[in-house]
Structure 1
C-alpha cells in the first residue's frame, strides 16, 4: 500500500560515508515516487556534504545530536531534548527509520510524532506499527533499504549507486597541481576501524605489481592516515606518490573517476568507485562482505580475508584485472 499525500518526509540514517552512499538508491526511489515532497535527512554533522552532493534527493539536513546506545555520535542531553522538541514540532507526514534493525532507535523515531512512522524492526523487539518491516537478514545493504521502501508501496528497484563529479571537483583537483600521471592505480590502505585494515606490507606488494605493469601508484587517504600510506610507500620497491591528506571527498572522487583500478579495504572509497564504475579490488577484513561489497561482481573483485587469508589469491585477482586492459 503506497502512502498518499506525503508532503514532509524525514529519513533517519546517521552513519558514515559508505553507509550513506548505500542509501542513495532508496532515497532516489523515494524522490521518484514523491517528487514534490520535502525530504529531510536526519544524520551526522558531516552529512552537510551529502546534502550538497545530492540536492535532487535531499532538501534539508537536520543534525542528529546522538542517542543512548548508538556509537556514531556522543550524546548531548541538552541538544537531544532540543532535537526531539524540534522534530515533534515539524509535523512530518512520514518518519522513515533507515538506521538499522530498530532495536535501539525505533522508540526515539516514534517520538517525532509523524503521521506515519516506518522502518525496520526485529521480531524479538517491540513492533511500532504495521509499516515496520521485519529486518531482513542476508541482503546487501542497498537491497535491504530498497526492500523497506518497496514495503511501503514504492516500486523502484534500481540498485545503481551515484557519486556526481562536478566541474568544481575537477577544477579543484587540477588546482592542487598534484603529480598525477595519465595511467595510475589508487591504493587506499586505510579504513575508519583500524581492525579492518589489511597489512601495509601486502598493499605494498600489490603496488609493486601494478608498477611493474606500467601503472603509477597513488596512495590515498586522510591526513590521519598519512602514517599508514607512508608505511606502504616505504615498503615498496618502486616509487609511489603519497597523496594522503591532500584531497577532499570531491577531489578524491575526481581522482578515482580516471583511475585504472582502486585497491582498498572494504570502506567508503569502495562505494565511490562502485558509483563511478571504476574497477576495484577490495579486501574485506570485517566480515559481512555480502552486505557491503560492490554489487557488480564483473567490475569489482572482493576477497573475504576473514575466510580466505591467502595473499596468492589476492595477487591472482589483481593479475586478472591488469590483464583485462594492458594498453597503458
Structure 2
C-alpha cells in the first residue's frame, strides 16, 4: 500500500454527494476499512446524508457535515458555516484525506486546504498532481471507478457487492404502517426520481403496474413526500387500486419493503441500487446517458433499460415479461 498502516491513524473520505452516489462508494469504503482496521475514519459529506452514512458505522467512525463550496453544484455554499467547518477539519490533523468525489477543478484545492499529511484521490489532469492521484475514469460503473482508486493506492479490494444495513427501527416503522402485504407477494413501483427530467412517464409506470396486478401481485407505489403527487398520478391511471406508500415510509422502512418485494420497477438509481444490495429482482429504466454507470445489469436479476438511446415502451414491456418469467422459473426450481 502507498500509505503504511503505522503512519495512518486518521483518514478522511470526502464525497459530498447524494444517496445514489454514496451507495456506489460502499465497496471502496469496505476495502479501506479492511486495509486500515485500526484507523479512525471520518466521512465528509452533505448534511442530509448523515443518517444514511451512520448505517455503515462498521466502516465509518465519524461524520462531518460539509457546508458547500463555490464551484460544487450539489448544495448552496454556506460561507458562514464554511469558516467554522475548515478550522474544525484542520484541527483533526488527518494523516490521509481521500478525495473520492470526482474531477471538478474546485475539488483538489479545497481538500488541500484541510492540511492532511497525505492526500490522494481523483483528479482531472494527473500532470497537476502526484502519483497518489488517479485521473477520474470515464468508463465502468461508479462502483468500479471508486474501487479503481483503491487499487491505484495498493489497497486490496474487498468485493464489489453493495450493502444496505437495516435497523430494528426500520422493522418497527414498517409494522406500524400495517400494510396489507406479504413478503414476495407484491411489487414496488417507484415513479419518482431526483430530477424531473429523469422521471419516466406515469402512463408507462401504470401499464407496468397493471401487468403486475394481472399476474396476481399487489402493487405498492413508493416515493418520498415530494413524490406523492407522482404516485397518485400513476394510481389514477391504473385499472385497479394500488397501495400508495409514497410519503409514509422512512428510507429504512422503504429499503425493507424493497428487500421483501417480488420485484422493483423504477427510474431512480438509488432504488435500483438498494434492490441490487438485497438481490431483489429489479428493472431500472435509465433516463440519462450513462445507464450502466449507476447500475449493474446482470440480464437476469437486476436489469437496466437505456431509455435515452431507445425510448420504446415495447422493449421495456418485453423485459418486464422476461423478468417475471425468470422469477417463475426460479420459484419452480426451489
TM-score normalized by structure 2? 0.94
Worse overlay, 267-276 or 60-69: 267-276
Q: Which residue of 1 aligns with 2:105?
A: 103
The count of residues paired between Structure 1 and Structure 2 equals 327
Matches of 1:295 and 1:54, distance apart in 2: 25
Structure 2 unpaired stretches of 5+: none
SS at match of 2:187: strand
Structure 2 residue corresponding to 1:222, chosen from 221, 224, 231: 224
Contact 2:12 2:97 in 1 (8 A): yes
Structure 1 residue corresponding to 2:279, chosen from 277, 280, 285: 277
Equivalences for residues 1-328 of structure 1 within 5 A: 1-4=1-4, 5-123=7-125, 127-182=128-183, 183-326=185-328
Contact 2:171 2:256 in 1 (8 A): yes
State the 1:149 CA deviation.
1.2
Contact 1:51 1:59 in 2 (8 A): no
State the 1:295 CA deviation.
4.8
SS at match of 1:290: coil
Matches of 1:238 and 1:130, distance apart in 2: 59
Contact 1:266 1:292 in 2 (8 A): no
RMSD after superposition: 1.5
Contact 1:51 1:60 in 2 (8 A): no
State the 1:82 CA deviation.
1.7
TM-score normalized by structure 1? 0.96
State the 1:127 CA deviation.
2.3
Matches of 1:166 and 1:324, distance apart in 2: 31
SS at match of 1:202: helix
Contact 2:300 2:326 in 1 (8 A): no
Structure whose residues are more often helix by fraction: 2
State the 1:168 CA deviation.
2.7
